[in-house]
Structures are given as C-alpha cells and as structure tokens.
Structure 1
Amino acid sequence: MPADDVFEIIAPAQWTAPLVFNSPHSGNVLPDDLLSLSRLDASNLQLSQDCFVDELFGGCIAVGAPMLRALLSRSYIDLNREPYELDPRMFLEELPRHFNSTSPRVTCGLGTLPRIVAEGQDIYRGRIPLSVALARIERAYHPYHRALAALLNEAHQATGRVLLVDCHSMPSSAVSEIQGHRERSVDVVLGDRFGASADAEITAVAEDCLSAAGLRVVRNRPYAGGFSTENHGRPQLGRHALQIEINRNLYLDEGRQQKTADFAGLKQLLDTLCQR
C-alpha cells in the first residue's frame, strides 16, 4: 500500500509555527481487504470516524503549520494506538506474548485493529488471520507514524520546541460518562495526560480561548490523550502534545454524518485557536 494511500501531509507555503496538527481518525477510505471480511456495510463501518475534523482544524495551514491526516478509515486501522495493541478474540492464532492484549482499549474492542465500531457492532464475520493485522500495521501504521515523527523532529530541530495538536471528535453520548458534568453538555475535552504531555500554560491557552466562546471545556476526562499524545509529549525536552476532543453535536448531524449549520462558526473559532 503506497504511503499516499495511507495519509496526506498538508503543508503551508512556509512552515513558520512550531506546531504539527494530526488528524488520525478523519479518514474514510475502506479498502477491499476490510470490506471482504466485514459483516457491516460501508455506512456502518464509518460510525467511528471523526467526520470533518481535518477540515475543522484546517486553519493551521494559514498560520504556518502542517497537518498530517489519515486517509484510511479508523475501522480499518486505528492510528492512535500502540502498534500491536490487539484483541486476542479477533484472531485465529494465538498472539505473540509481547503484544499488548490487555489494555483498556483492547478490552473495549478498540485496539489497533478495532473489533467493533462506535455503536458496539462487531466489524468482522468471524475470527481473522493474524497476518491481516500484521500486513496493515506494516503497510499503514508504521508509515504513518514515521511521517508524524519526521514532522515533529523537523519542527523541534528548527526551534528547539514543538507542539503536537492531536485532533479528534467525540460522540455526544460520551459526555454522559464525564463525571460531575452530567447536568450540562461538555463541548470540548483537552487531554494533556494530566499535565505529563504538555506544559500547563499550553493547555490553559486552549481552555481560555474555547471557554471565552461559551464552550464548556474539561480536562482529561474521559479522554486524557491516546497513544500519540503519550508517545510524543515530553515537555522537559521541549516536545509538547495536546489532544483536543470536540463534541460532534457542535457541528455534525451524527445520524446522517453531515455538517450542520453550526460547522462554519465552530471552524472559525478553531481558526482563532490555531492563531494562539
């Protein structure tokens, strides 16, 4: 699988900001080797997609920062996981012992190769060969993460610091899981691994900008940051990572997966955030 089928790097005319934006879950390409094994149709396979998130954060280009965006559907491979975070219930063979088969994400069916889509539906008709997973990891996962690491290294070498902004959306149903805020919808969750992946002032800038626009913002619950945030956030080395989760009901008809009239206003706000 060529790299240009896996991801796209949208680069500014001149890279001037020490920022890299990453959208690992906005892809919608469903390769034949998924469709041939799946019990679901194409529309159901897209239920876990972070629809239009790459567009929402596209203002990063105008401020001189690149975006890495996935082209492949999240149901095919989840690029915000460890490389071998796999569910043993999915495969015909026993998994190698060094694979991570016990993480909370795997337990929920949301490993590197997801077992389910967001609505809890099983993706596959039955167990699949482990070779399917290994091929996807080799052809898609590793090239994507090499590209992300190269972008971050380039920015860091130029300025001595870099911020990875990991861009996501969350289903509106997820807000009911956020303890202490059930009385009012949560609009944005900022994940900095409880301060371990980014300096506090970076998270505060994002929180202040979004809160000033009237959005309800919380930190780290229930999303503290996935693999990319954890892997690349090293504040002591000048490498920061912040995950931003946007409630889909702010911009999306979740049933039809179509933009609502509020999309443009939210994008304008996120354009402003990119400028901070």
Structure 2
Amino acid sequence: MTDAPFSFELLPGAAHSPVILHVPHAARSVPPEVRAGLVLDDAELARELDHITDAHTDQIAEAAAGRARVTPWRFVNRLSRLVVDPERFPDEREEMAAVGMGAVYTRTTHRAVLRAAGTDPGPLVERYFQPYARAMTEAVADRLAATGRAVIVDVHSYPSEPLPYELHGTGPRPPVCLGTDAFHTPPELLAAARAAFAGCGGTGLDSPFSGTYVPLEFYRRVAEVGALMVEIRRDTYLTEPGGPAGPGLSRLAASLAALVDTVSG
C-alpha cells in the first residue's frame, strides 16, 4: 500500500518556535476501506465516535495558535483513531493492547468487538501508522535543527466518568490532567502548564492518564525534546459525550496559548 498523504497535516508556525501542538484524536473520519473492516453498524459507530473522539481539541489548538505571541507548529491527525492510534506502540510494549486498543483497535470503549477476530493490523500500520510516525519524527527533527530544542504539547480530552476500557480509571479526574514523562518533562515545563491552566478549575498529575508522546527516534534518548500531555475533562468545554463546544473552549485556548508563550520564551 502507498502512503496516506491526507491522513495528517503539519501546519507551520513561526520559524523560531520550538513548540509543536500535537492533536492526534480530534477527527471522526473513517475511510470507506477501513469502515468495511469494522463490525459496528452506522448507529453503533456514531456512538463509538462520540466516546472515543477528543472532540474539538483541534479547535482548541487552532485558537491557541492564533492567540500565541509566537505561533506554534501544529501536527493534526485528520482521521479517527479507529483507523490507527498514532500514539500507541505498534508492538508488545503497548499496555493498551490488553483491552484491544493497541495501534489498531479491536475493541470499543465499552469493550465490545470492533474488528473481527484475526484481523491483520499490518496493512493499516503500513498505510497509516508508519507515515504518520515518520512525518512526526521529521517535524520534531526540524524544530531541533531550527531552534536547538523541540517541545511537544499533546492536546487531548477525556470523559468526566470513566469508560470501561480505561486501565487506570479509578483515580482523580481533574479539569485538566497533565501527563508527564520522567525523561522528557522537565520541572519548568510542568510548572508552566500548572500556571497556565490554573484558571481552568485546577490541574492534576498523571491521572487518569499518564505519559507523553515522543517519536521513538528521540524517546528517552534526546533530552532536548520536551513533552507534555494536556488532557482536558470534556464536561469543562462540551456537552458529553461528543456534543457541541461551549464557552469553556475559549478559556482553554487562552490557557494553552499562555503555556505556548511561556515555553517559547
């Protein structure tokens, strides 16, 4: 299979910006050839997309980029994570594979069957996952070459009540969860995020989701690549599970822009 050139988009920022706002889970689009491999009917698929999609996070990132003094770069997934999840490991290292949510999902958020047993993930990984990973690696390398550092800020959302697929859903669910990595999240980046989102109802650390996304070429190898995951509780800005955005979106965008400004120096 050939690469999928329209499955993601790199939106340029300022030449001297080290920041990449990464938006991996905002889209609902499922190409027909992928849709054919899902066992859900149309109504079931629509419900699953409501639950699994980080709705409007692309709008939050876009608004934040427009507000920031130094425009960040944006890397946006234009396909649903039901096609592939670009933030999963494509092998046995992936913890979420235990609930059928590795790089290619086989189960839904409610642990129902999504793809038939024995489905080969290889073609989807080759067509969608690998080109995405290469492009994101190149985007980070470009920021390193241009500015001497790169800062990946992952923009996500999560439901106010845990879904059955969550492996760590019993912990706190703050308005904004900050996911960190011991190697890639320096104290000053975490402090900047806490300050930026202080007016959004409060922040928490690594609960209910933890970790950050860093392309494997740099992961735990290049300290000049910083990373932070911003998980926004959905009831703070939309009608759950996946309804329209409310006034909270503008407030969150302003906070994200403040973080970008601090990180950009």
The TM-score range, normalised by the shorter chain, is 0.7 to 0.9
Check if 1:122 corresponds to 2:113.
yes
Identity of aligned residues (%): 22
Q: Distance in 2 between matches of 1:237 and 1:273?
A: 20
Question: Structure 1 residues 159 and 228 mapped into 2: Cα distance closer, same or farther (>3 Å)?
Answer: closer
Q: Distance in 1 between matches of 2:216 and 2:185?
A: 10
Shift of 1:3: 3.6
What's the TM-score once normalised by structure 2's chain length?
Answer: 0.84
Any idea what SS the aligned residue of 1:112 has?
A: coil
Any idea what SS the aligned residue of 2:152 has?
A: strand
Corresponding position of 1:274? 260
Shift of 1:246: 0.7
Shift of 1:167: 1.4
Corresponding position of 1:37? 37
Question: Structure 1 residues 249 and 232 mapped into 2: Cα distance closer, same or farther (>3 Å)?
Answer: farther
Shift of 1:54: 1.4
Shift of 1:264: 2.4
Corresponding position of 2:235? 249
Q: Deviations over 1:82-119 (max 9, x none)?
A: 1x23xxxxxxxxxxxxxx1x743111221111122323
What's the TM-score once normalised by structure 1's chain length?
Answer: 0.81
Q: Deviations over 1:140-162 (max 9, x none)?
A: 11111111111111111122211
Q: Distance in 1 between matches of 2:80 and 2:58?
A: 13
Q: Please report the RMSD computed on the Cα atoms of aligned residues, expressed in angstroms.
A: 2.4
Moved more, 264-273 or 237-246: 264-273
Matches within 5 A, 1:1-276: 2-12=3-13, 14-40=14-40, 41=42, 42-46=45-49, 47-58=51-62, 59-60=64-65, 62=68, 63-82=70-89, 84-85=90-91, 100=92, 103-124=94-115, 126-130=116-120, 133-174=121-162, 177=169, 179=171, 181=172, 186-193=174-181, 195-211=182-198, 213-228=199-214, 232=218, 234=220, 237-276=223-262
Q: Are the aligned partners of 2:107 and 2:114 in contact in 1 as well (CA < 8 Å)?
A: yes
One-letter amino acid of the structure 1 residue matched with residue 99 of structure 2: C
Larger RCO: Structure 1 or Structure 2 (Cα < 8 Å, ≥ 6 residues apart)? 2
Question: Structure 1 residues 144 and 31 mapped into 2: Cα distance closer, same or farther (>3 Å)?
Answer: same
One-letter amino acid of the structure 1 residue matched with residue 159 of structure 2: P
Q: Are the aligned partners of 1:229 and 1:243 in contact in 2 as well (CA < 8 Å)?
A: no
One-letter amino acid of the structure 2 residue matched with residue 70 of structure 1: N
Q: Distance in 1 between matches of 2:222 and 2:242?
A: 44
Q: Distance in 2 between matches of 1:37 and 1:64?
A: 39
Shift of 1:75: 1.1
Question: Structure 1 residues 230 and 173 mapped into 2: Cα distance closer, same or farther (>3 Å)?
Answer: farther
Question: Structure 1 residues 233 and 57 mapped into 2: Cα distance closer, same or farther (>3 Å)?
Answer: farther
Provide structure 1 residue ranges, at least 5 long, that are not aligned to the other structure: 86-99
Corresponding position of 1:93? none
Q: Distance in 1 between matches of 2:191 and 2:180?
A: 11
